[in-house]
Structure 1
């Protein structure tokens, strides 16, 4: 039985997107040796250096090796907190485009940093946006993925 690319694309489009996961930084992924250059792009500082968003590449699996580490103050702790954002569990993203990272601040919710990413699932990959919100008042980090899986191509198109 042959399965067409259109069928694979349709199945992937109907599959829910992998959820992002938020973990503590006590993992091998959050090791300093996984930080990569150029550091001016892959390490971003906000709030006068109080919040750092750091791209990590653990190398394997090659199609999902990128993670994001966030260090930030907590209102009840004198030491910085650290959270690790991955695609799902300990699986990373296909790519992080740190050069096009954008940030905004809303006093009601905190700092929001948006990173264009590539998500890989099976044989398909697609672009999404990862928005990480850091609320310094509460010490809460919230990652949210937005974007869609590829949509099926019309029949007969290339």
Structure 2
């Protein structure tokens, strides 16, 4: 058990040194399970663009240092009329913390919907506060993400 915890801590420490460009939006997989939506749901989900875009805070519990993801359901729609489903995380994992109450959104014509929220990132020794900024182009479905100091 100690070996696994130590290995996880070392791995997270190594990930902390990676460039800030490692934020990613990937197709929904196991983190996007409904039982990972942080309760109460009404405080940890929001809709935008007349209900076409939904964001939700996910907590997968493990890995303990990075269990939080942002669920993004948005256009474009597929042939069945379903929205795309993506999760925004960091380096193949989630964030060490996320304040969904700090979520802000604006529309920037050159970028699309722009979201910002406070997150925490494990740096190998402690959890550091950062701002997650991600964009959503509803026409193409492209999502870009970056961490700000």
Q: 1:139 and 1:123, CA in 2 relative to 1: closer, same or farther beyond 3 A?
A: same
Could you tell me which runs of 5 or more consecutive residues in structure 2 were left unpaired when the two chains were aligned: 1-13
Measured against aligned partners, the alpha-carbon deviations of 1:85-110 in whole angstroms (never above 9, x if no partner) come to 11111x21011100111111112211
- 2:25 pairs with one of 22, 27, 31: 22
Indicate whether 1:63 and 2:65 are aligned: yes
Counterparts of 1:64-143 in structure 2, within 5 Å, are 64-74=66-76, 77=79, 78-89=81-92, 91-143=93-145
Secondary structure of 1:100's counterpart equals: strand
Cα deviation for residue 15 of structure 1 reads 3.5
**Contact map agreement 1:36 1:55 (CA 8 A) in 2:** yes
TM-score normalised according to structure 1 size = 0.77
Cα deviation for residue 20 of structure 1 reads 1.1
More helix by share: 2
**Contact map agreement 1:75 1:138 (CA 8 A) in 2:** no
Measured against aligned partners, the alpha-carbon deviations of 1:99-157 in whole angstroms (never above 9, x if no partner) come to 1111111122111111110001221221111112111122211112111xxxxxxxxxx
TM-score normalised according to structure 2 size = 0.81
Cα deviation for residue 76 of structure 1 reads 6.6
Calculate the aligned-residue CA RMSD, in Å. Answer: 2.2
Which has the larger Rg? 1
Aligned to 2:36: 34
* Partner Cα distance (1:107, 1:137) in 2: 12
* Partner Cα distance (1:52, 1:116) in 2: 18
Aligned to 2:4: none
**Contact map agreement 1:134 1:140 (CA 8 A) in 2:** yes
How many aligned residue pairs are there? Answer: 134
